[in-house]
Chains A and B, each alone.
Chain A
Amino acid sequence: MSKSSIGAIDWLSILFFLFLLAFGWVNIYSTTYNPDTPAFFDLAQYSGKQFLWIGASLALIIVIISTDTRFFERFSSIIYLASLLLLVGLFPFGKTISGATSWYSIGSFTLQPSEFAKIGTALALSKYISDIQTDLKNLKSLGYIALIIAIPALLILAQPDAGSAMIFAAFLFPLHREGLTGYILFILFTIASLFILTLLFGVNWVVGSLFILGIIIYYFLKKQRGILLFLLGGFAAMSAYCYSVDFVFHNVFKQHHRDRFNIVLGKTKDTRGIGYNTNQSEIAIGNGRWFGKGWTEGSQTQGNFVPEQHTDYIFSAAGEEWGFIGSLAFIIAFLGLCLRVLHLAERQKSQFSRVYGYGVVSILFFHFLINIGMVIGLLPTVGIPLPFLSYGGSSLWAFTILLFVFLKMDADRNKR
């Protein structure tokens, strides 16, 4: 059983995966490089530890490939419940690091259950959607789906770890693929745009523009029945929303939240305080030019100017030392993996593995979107890791399991 799977497994995905692992390790090595003690496999250093995590994840891959594919579908509910339990358990037993209670501490190791919760949620969601009785047009089904996603997300938000919780929005993509009405996406998109526009231009301008927009639409569509009522209702809802965004932003958000938004929206220029990370990261990347400064030669990276460079800001080291060409190779590999897995998902015969495949891609892509966006200064500072590259055992293992469970399903797609 397991032997035949190895032959059918998608080697292109594995190639991308191995490249990303290697690229990640090389950059972790550089961010913690010390020319006086250039040890490659020193377990006291991040690069040495990461080597250990990589070895362990390879072991995990073998375990996954030897496991019967049906196990993941049958036990999806159990896995989901177990991951919820782990999340709940954090509240009494978790370890608090920099304000968030997100880790179990076992000896000198720490484990971050929120990373594994993504796998459980993806499995449970796939299982529920592929159930014959589930209908995405049915409000009750939608309610269950919302619960499956929201329970872990809210538990993580309570840690508090807003960044990891945000990732659960990625499940909108598999839902949309399986037939969730476009209106919901449209409404979510409108909500997000209004949010940003309100912060950027001020609530009164946005509401004023909406009013003018409404008049224009009415002028062209006044023949339509009930259009006036529809527009008035829409306008009322939107302006209420805008005013509440304004209120929440100024009265509920803490100053450091506001700062993060303002920096990304370009409303404040701050290179010393909260904007320091982004600024240093941009300098490091800009320093790379076409071909980069060379491995362990980046002045920003070697001077440790970018905080958290071996974890969330790992891409800034890559950008500085490998340049535009290196960044291009990374983006091609990462998005290539996403597109490849997407392609594999589309060829699945069972709905379960298709939804799961979509979930894998969405989660990987969301991490990429938010992490890289933050490092290159396009999105607000949100602390989430870059899959396969950032230092950390929990995230590496979680992403490895997430990916290889799907690759195993794909390898066995013709068996059932």
Chain B
Amino acid sequence: MRRYLLHIIIILVGLIYLGRLFYLQIYDTSYTNLSRNNAVKTVFEYPQRGNIFDRNGKLLVSNQPSYDVMVIPRELKPFDTLEFCSLLGITKEKLKKQLKRARNYSTRLQYVVVPQLSKEEYAFLQEKMHKYEGFYIQKRSLRSYKTKCAANVLGFITEVNNRILRKDDYYHSGDLIGKQGVEEQYEKELRGSKGVRYYQKDRFNREIGPYREGKLDTLAVKGKDIKLSIDIELQEYGEELMIGKRGGIIALEPKTGEVLALVTAPSYAPELLVGRKRSANFTKMHYDSINNPMYDRGLLAEYPPGSPFKTLNALIALQEGVINTKQRFSCSNGYYYGVRGRKMGCHPHASPLSLEYATAVSCNSYFAQTYRKIVEKEATPQDGIDNWRRHLRSFGLGGFLGYDLPIGRPGKIPTSKYYDAIYPSKRWKGITTLSNAIGQGEVLCTPIQLANMTAAIANRGYFYTPHVVKGIDNEYNKNPRYTQRKQTTIDSIHFEPVINGMRKVFTQGTAAFLQIPGIPICGKTGTAENFTKIDGKRTQLTDHSIFIAFAPKDDPQIALAVFVENGYWGARYAGRIASLMIEKYIRRSITATHLENWVLNHSLEEEYAKPLSGLPFTINN
């Protein structure tokens, strides 16, 4: 035993130390990262963010340089404070305060003295910079906007937040990231990828040369340019028309699903969210709960679709074979139904009437009967509703559309389960849900869904998922999601009578005064009742003005949906705007100046002030 004690101890200690080494070197990986933070300085090289163009190649968003004045306190030499302050446009006290802060932060590391100088300030300063040792100028990149419109489509860039920092290790504190719109959706394409340089630091945190001779360094890759499908002239025109109104205009190219204009009102100029004023402007808009300029009504607002929805009910009924185009229904200023003689009101027009004319005059009674026939075709109302819903889902209603912007709402098309839950005894029938016939009741959709539905009608039975990006870096957007044709459940032969009806809306129906000579427009007006709560009381407000349209009739170039909140009847605001947008897009100029003047000179601000005034008010006048 005496002979072996030392042997045993030596071997034991060897094993224990090897175990500890294994723990430090292999098992516990945190030491590797610690070393990274400790001895290696990582410097990122930020690439230029990609530019954004409109569909005609017009530059919308590019980059502008911004200059920060930095200081390394250790390297400061005595300098002419007065001259320096006047160059920077700051007071001597401010400079002193900044230098003190810089020293408190670190005497060896750089610190921002004055952020984001303008180009002019920078030009003056640069010539004299050699006089101020210890100061230097760091260039950064900010967004520069060539348009005052389309903020909702473009989005903005902002400093990355902690939630994303934790999730995605590409980003580091202080990096910029796209928020909302295309900037968010196409962040990966636009940002490019940043380059990395590693520097070896010593224990005083000074750089002493490249780390591993720069073997691990990477070059920055410039961001890709993006070509939007947006027609910026049309977009700007739409935003101009919407001044003083709330709502949205969505214009699509039916043949491709490309979004031509995506207007929400009220909106804001994108340049408000750039530079030194960014934070103040953002806060102001974020807390403006009355105008809500950052709320995209075109994508997020779910409205009852109103009468435009009748076109779909007509199509479903034709497909299901429960009506034919010759069949006439009568209307006696409304439709009486149910045992207690309830009535769905209508307005005066000729009766009885067939599909095309019923569409033109938007007869409630006709479509109530059509809807009943659809739902009552099946053995139970449950099956009827679900079959009806199946057709509507194929038009992109009642679910997310899948377009390439980061926000959206699904809208609502009720299921049989939904009604079973409301009426637990299950004793509901087709007529219980009759409001759905005219796009009221339980049906909700967003303006972009409505526009997409219009495009599907214009195409006679199919659509492409709407998208705002036409191409990336000179290549067409090849994402199969946007190049695959989505077929609806309705056969193309059934569209002609409905489209003829929509044409009659313009020739002899509710929108006769909106014709644009030379452009055969098909459309449908809509007027939707709506309610709000004032002091806890459900109060009806002036109806929403709704309009869907496409043109020209036989070779559709544009399909659109217009929503104007509390604009009263459909043709009044939305209809006028729709006609103007169509002419603007197809002719690039406006002949219907009477319509344009009317829209530009009318504002709904008074209407929007009513529910906030606290005074009693009247509606629909």
A residues whose Cβ falls under 8 Å from a Cβ of B: 35, 173, 176-177, 179, 280, 282-290, 297, 299-300, 302-305, 319, 323-324, 327-328, 331, 335, 338-339, 342, 346, 358, 361-362, 365, 368-369, 372-373, 376-378
Contact = CB atoms under 8 A, between A and B. Distances in A.
A288 B10 contact: no
B25 A285 contact: yes
Nearest to B3: A346
Contacts of A328: 18, 21
Contacts of B118: none
Nearest to A331: B14
B34 interface: yes
A173 B2 CA distance: 9
A369 B10 CA distance: 9
Given A35-B209, A288-B25, A304 B34 contact: no
A179 B11 CA distance: 22
B11 A335 contact: yes
B201 A303 contact: yes
6 contacts: A286-B34, A300-B35, A305-B39, A319-B24, A324-B26, A327-B18
B203 A303 contact: yes
B18 A302 contact: no
Nearest to A325: B25
B615 interface: no
Contact of A290 (B2, B11, B25, B211): B25
Nearest to B201: A303
Contact of A376 (B3, B20, B39): B20
Contact of B32 (A176, A286, A302, A305): A286
B3 A302 contact: no
Nearest to A335: B14
Nearest to A36: B209
A283 B38 CA distance: 9
B40 interface: yes
Contact of A285 (B11, B21, B203, B208): B21
B609 interface: no
A285 B17 contact: no
Interface string B195-227: 000001111000011011000000000000000
Nearest to B202: A303
B26 A290 contact: yes
A194 B208 CA distance: 48
A4 to B, nearest CB: 29
A371 to B, nearest CB: 11
B123 interface: no
Contact of B39 (A177, A300, A331): A300
A331 B18 CA distance: 8
Contact of B7 (A176, A299, A342, A378): A342
Nearest to A174: B6
A367 B6 CA distance: 14
B45 to A, nearest CB: 20
B339 interface: no
- Chain A CB count within 10 A is highest, among B16, B26, B31, B209, for B31
Contacts of A305: 38-39, 202-203
Contacts of A300: 35, 38-39
A361 B28 CA distance: 33
Given A282-B24, A324-B26, A373-B17, 19 more contacts: A173-B5, A173-B6, A177-B2, A177-B3, A285-B21, A285-B24, A286-B34, A286-B35, A289-B32, A299-B39, A303-B39, A304-B202, A304-B203, A305-B38, A331-B14, A331-B17, A372-B17, A377-B24, A378-B20
A177 to B, nearest CB: 6
A319 B200 contact: no
Which of A287, A303, A305 neighbours the largest number of chain B CB atoms within 10 Å of its CB? Answer: A303
Contact of A324 (B5, B22, B40): B22
Interface in B273-288: none
B290 interface: no
A231 to B, nearest CB: 27
Contact of A369 (B13, B28, B36, B201): B13
B25 A283 contact: no
> In the complex, which of the residues B10, B28, B202 has the most CB atoms of chain A within 10 Å of its own CB atom?
B10
Nearest to B34: A283
Tell me the interface secondary structure of chain B in the complex.
helix
B24 A335 contact: no
Contacts of B25: 285-286, 288-290, 319, 323-324, 327
Contact of B208 (A176, A177, A282, A303): A303
B6 A358 contact: yes
> Interface extent on B, as a size class?
35 or more
Interface centre among B11, B13, B18, B39, by most A CB within 10 Å? B39
B190 to A, nearest CB: 34
Contacts of A280: 38
A341 to B, nearest CB: 10
Given A304-B202, A304-B203, A339-B7, A287 B26 contact: no
Nearest to B6: A173
Contacts of A173: 5-6
B6 A297 contact: no
A368 B7 CA distance: 14
Q: Which 9 A-B pairs give the minimum distances between C-beta atoms?
A: A286-B31, A299-B39, A287-B35, A303-B39, A286-B24, A324-B25, A335-B14, A303-B202, A305-B203
A376 B24 contact: yes
Nearest to B209: A35
A94 B212 CA distance: 44
Contacts of B201: 303
A322 to B, nearest CB: 10
A352 B9 CA distance: 23
A412 B124 CA distance: 87
Contact of A327 (B11, B21, B36, B200): B21
Given A285-B25, A289-B32, A302 B39 contact: yes
B67 to A, nearest CB: 32
A55 B14 CA distance: 30
B5 A282 contact: no
Contacts of B32: 286-287, 289
A282 B35 CA distance: 10
A297 B210 CA distance: 11
A369 B5 CA distance: 16
A372 to B, nearest CB: 6
Contacts of B200: 299, 302-303
A290 B24 CA distance: 11
A289 B2 CA distance: 38
A300 B24 CA distance: 15
Nearest to B215: A297
A285 B16 CA distance: 16
A286 B209 CA distance: 23
Contacts of B203: 303-305
A216 B211 CA distance: 62
Contacts of A288: 25
Contact of A177 (B6, B14, B30): B6
B227 to A, nearest CB: 44
Instruction: Name, among B13, B18, B25, the residue most crowded by chain A CB atoms within 10 Å (CB to CB).
Output: B25
Nearest to A285: B24
B35 A319 contact: no
A173 B13 CA distance: 15
B36 to A, nearest CB: 8
A289 B26 contact: yes
Contacts of A286: 24-25, 28, 30-32, 34-35
Contacts of B202: 303-305
A299 B10 contact: no
A302 B13 CA distance: 30
Nearest to A287: B35
Contacts of B31: 282-283, 285-287
A241 B38 CA distance: 44
B584 to A, nearest CB: 62
A283 B6 CA distance: 31
A338 B10 contact: yes
Given A282-B24, A365-B10, A376-B20, A179 B2 contact: yes
A284 B35 contact: yes
